[in-house]
Amino acid sequence: MSRVIISGASSGVGKTTVTNAILSLLEDVQPFKIGPDFIDPMLHQYVTSKPSYNLDSYIYSEETIKYLFNKYSQSGVSVLEGVMGLYDGKNHDLENNSTAHMSRILSAPVILVVNANKQATSLAAHIKGLIEFDPRVNVAGVILNKTTEGSYNYLKAAIEMHLKIKCLGYLPNDPDFNIKERHLGLMQASEISGLDEKLLKLKEVATKTLDLKAIKEIAMTAKPLKSEPLKIDVKDIFEGKTVAYAKDKAFSFIYQSHIDLFKEAGATVKYFSPLSDKTVPDADLYILPGGYPELFLKELTSNTSMISTIRELVKNKKVIAECGGFIYLTKGIHYQGEFHQLCNIYDIEIEFNNKLDIKRFGYIEVKDNEDTIYGHEFHYSKIKECHESNMAYHIVNKGYKCGYTKERAIAGYPHLLYYSNLDYFKKIMED
């Protein structure tokens, strides 16, 4: 049960690049992502050919985190990519659901990634502060990013002179390693041109510049992690049922743990594409996840057969739509100066903006009838006009209502995480 967390000293230092380099070098590895991110796990899966699983200490209890980690960490080394900077979380205390917080829950050593460009001795002081800020966090090594071999050796001498920490190598500042960003984060793996070539070059360089043996030795210092079975058993409760997920380049924000959970509950999971399919498979529950529908409006609006199918579907079958899926069910979206008509199930018009809707951003505690479930919102669009009144969710921790029910559909911006309340999950097939 070897494990190690790759954390940035701050956001933007290249921890995703370093994580993918390490994943590419390890032959027997299981990736994880700390936090609710959808896109980094897609890259992890592309590199390793294994699903990457999200762990989140705001969303899940410590018992659930340990259960999920042990459930999926069956490979030789588990590598967890952190979120933001090491101590960055929902607030400024040390129980703030940060990467450091997660490292304590999992008793996992941390390898720190720092941007070494234009740095000198002060870098050692910066690292020292991060190590000593919370002595309960085991910062066991450091990787210098965006530097040269000569600068690395110079900085390594300073760090190891003043600190009892091992430098584990470096990566150069090579633009070929960069993955373009856009709203909501990095580009999806399926959309990155020349990704295979980028990853091959990254692996070739990392083979020479990272101390893989030392990284593995740090991971092996983690002690066995005890966990208990979850108190709520879902085994075979959906035996004979079928769940159909929309899944393509427009709708891809899907947690693998949810797919596994449905299968564990006995359901058959199928997929369909609103971009290219003309109809949907027969199922008891349909889920339209988030993604980037605004980038594929031409394809979505021209697939009138699928739009007609979805319009009829909500009359007879349970449909859940989140964020991008919610947008798809509305009247349409104002995007780049044009209005694009979509399914028109909800009498709602959406407007896309070039900035995050900060008022509806972050972790949420959702009240749905008698159940409370945790999730998050993260979107650049917002409702421009709304003529619907049947509200679905009460966001308890932020004091607003959102989401709408209509016929057999429930749709809104929140992404809900089922492992935060398995009682909610058990009733998910119901209206």
Residues belonging to the active site: 323
What is the total residue count of the chain? Answer: 431
Q: Give the rounded distance of the alpha carbon of 208 from its chain centre.
A: 30
Rounded to a whole number of angstroms, the CA Rg of the chain reads 22
Q: What percent of the chain is helix, strand and coil (3-state, nearest 5)?
A: 35, 30, 35
**Residue-by-residue DSSP string for 222-260:** SPP------SS--TTTTTT-EEEEE-SSSEEE--HHHHH
Structure-block tokens of residue 315: 């009359």
Q: Are 80 and 6 in contact (CB under 8 A)?
A: yes
The DSSP call for residue 17 is: H
Q: Are 102 and 244 in contact (CB under 8 A)?
A: no
The DSSP call for residue 210 is: B
Structure-block tokens of residue 67: 């259960």
Which residues, in sequence order, are CB contacts of 358 under 8 Å at separation 6+? none
Structure-block tokens of residue 335: 């995007």
What is the separation, in whole angstroms, between the first and last Cα of the chain? 41
Using CA atoms of 89, 402, 233, 254 in order, give the dihedral in degrees to the nearest 10.
-70
Rounded CA-CA distance 291/322 in Å is 9
Residue type, 162: H
Which residues, in sequence order, are CB contacts of 150 under 8 Å at separation 6+? none
Q: At 166, phi and psi to the nearest 5? A: -100, 135
